[in-house]
Amino acid sequence: MREIAVVAFAQTRHSAVDEGLGEPELILPVLDEVRERSGLRKFGFTCSGSCDYLAGAPFSFVSALDALGAWPPISESHVEMDAAWALYEAWVRLQHGDVDSALIYGFGKSSQGDLREIMTLQLDPYYLAPLGLDQVSYAALQASACGADRAELDEVVRRSRAAGRDNPYALDLPDPSGDGYEVEPLRPYDVAPITDGAAAVVLAAGDLAREVCERPAWITGIAHRIDPHYLGMRDLARSASAAEAARAAGVGKGSLDVAELHVQFSHEERILRQALELPDSTVVNPSGGPLAANPVMATGLIRIGEAASRIMDGTASRTLGHAASGPCLQHNLVTVMEG
């Protein structure tokens, strides 16, 4: 296997409201930033992640390519999901050995539509969607199944928001308060906030990574696994696919300083900690995580970028970036990085 590393990462200062930027305008600053940080102007491969349903238009990623420029021609691909899976595709592409660098970016503007309604469209249209349950309702079922108590959930949100207030890219959210339910047992603050934003990562192989980055975040393990789509076929109190992805990525081969987890609902942290077998010594979501900023289709890529940043700045030696997709943590991607 070729040595592949994250050598640059950038993200927008995320917003809870539509600031009137089109997708190219949202993406261009982060692309310029990773080009500046890596010193690279041309890439062997480019891959993006986004969702047409968020944009409200088919093939919306094509218009976003305006941010890359029309010349010179590029080798480009796209995934209709979180850009963490675009990073996985780019990692596989670099393993071919004929190119040494890849640019990955993701973007989403959740403020333009009803996210609960949009995410319902990922459900099976014959057996699940007609039930009338949405993303939050399914998450509430899982929260009940895993048995997390209110004090535990409140602490996850409080810690995440406090870390987010220290993160200039996250939203400035107050400590959790209020008694009402979004869908019982989840309160409104247990749900990741509506967020617009984008992020970009540069991968480089071998000697090029060492040349352009003083301390590359080497990807020593990466894997993704998926559970059955139908909730009745799995135990919602645990995530078998996250556990399998962790084993395949070699999470247990050493201690982890930091884990950035794609926690869109507060109870998911408990499930993921158990699935990934994270000890109390591992710092979880020091960036605030998705509960402090959740630009859908870039959130998972940001988890990998944040985890890589801890290695690149020298504050950690081994980290984990996690991304999730589908209802109730159906699909999980785990990336392990080392300095």
Strands 196-205 and 4-11: antiparallel
Q: Compute the distance between CA of residue 121 and CA of residue 75 in angstroms, rounded to an integer.
A: 30
C-alpha distance from residue 185 to each of 117, 148, 297 (Å): 20, 10, 26
Residue range 237-260, pLDDT digits in tens: 999 999 999 999 999 999 999 999
The domain ranges of the chain are: 4-113+194-212, 115-192+218-338
Q: Compute the distance between CA of residue 259 and CA of residue 283 in angstroms, rounded to an integer.
A: 6
Q: Compute the distance between CA of residue 206 and CA of residue 95 in angstroms, rounded to an integer.
A: 11
Per cent of the chain over pLDDT 70 is 100
Q: Where are the alpha helices (DSSP H) in 39-76?
A: 52-55, 60-64
Residue range 117-160, pLDDT digits in tens: 999 988 999 988 888 889 999 999 999 999 989 999 999 999 99
Q: Compute the distance between CA of residue 338 and CA of residue 319 in angstroms, rounded to an integer.
A: 6
Q: Compute the distance between CA of residue 80 and CA of residue 202 in angstroms, rounded to an integer.
A: 20
User: In the structure encoding, which two tokens stand for residue 333, read together?
Assistant: 């991607």
For all residues of the chain together, what is the average pLDDT? 95
**pLDDT tier at 37 (50, 70, 90 boundaries)?**
very high
Per-residue model confidence (pLDDT) at position 170? 98
Say yes or no to pLDDT of 70 above 80. no
Of residues 321, 133, 330, the one with CA closest to residue 220: 321
**pLDDT tier at 59 (50, 70, 90 boundaries)?**
confident
**pLDDT tier at 51 (50, 70, 90 boundaries)?**
very high
Of residues 294, 261, 322, the one with CA closest to residue 189: 294
CATH superfamily to which 4-113+194-212 belongs: Thiolase/Chalcone synthase (3.40.47.10)
- 73 versus 288: the higher-pLDDT residue is 288
**pLDDT tier at 58 (50, 70, 90 boundaries)?**
confident
Per-residue model confidence (pLDDT) at position 256? 98
Coil, helix or strand at residue 15:
strand
Residue 27: CB atoms within 10 A of its CB come to: 26
C-alpha distance from residue 119 to each of 23, 135, 331 (Å): 20, 6, 14
First to last CA, the chain: 17
**314 close to 16: Cβ distance less than 8 angstroms:** no
User: What's the per-residue H, E or C state across 199-247?
Assistant: EEEEEEEHHHHHHHCCCCEEEEEEEEEECCCCHHHCCCCCCHHHHHHHH
Per-residue model confidence (pLDDT) at position 282? 98
Evaluate whether 4-113+194-212 and 115-192+218-338 have a shared fold: yes
Per cent of the chain over pLDDT 90 is 88
Q: Compute the distance between CA of residue 173 and CA of residue 162 in angstroms, rounded to an integer.
A: 8
Residue range 184-225, pLDDT digits in tens: 999 999 999 999 999 999 999 999 999 999 999 999 999 999
**288 close to 161: Cβ distance less than 8 angstroms:** yes
Q: Compute the distance between CA of residue 93 and CA of residue 5 in angstroms, rounded to an integer.
A: 13
Say yes or no to pLDDT of 269 above 80. yes
Per-residue model confidence (pLDDT) at position 189? 97
Architecture of domain 115-192+218-338: 3-Layer(aba) Sandwich (3.40)
Say yes or no to pLDDT of 71 above 90. no
- Which of 1-10, 175-184, 218-227 shows the lowest mean pLDDT across its residues? 175-184
User: In the structure encoding, which two tokens stand for residue 46, read together?
Assistant: 């480019």
Per-residue model confidence (pLDDT) at position 149? 92
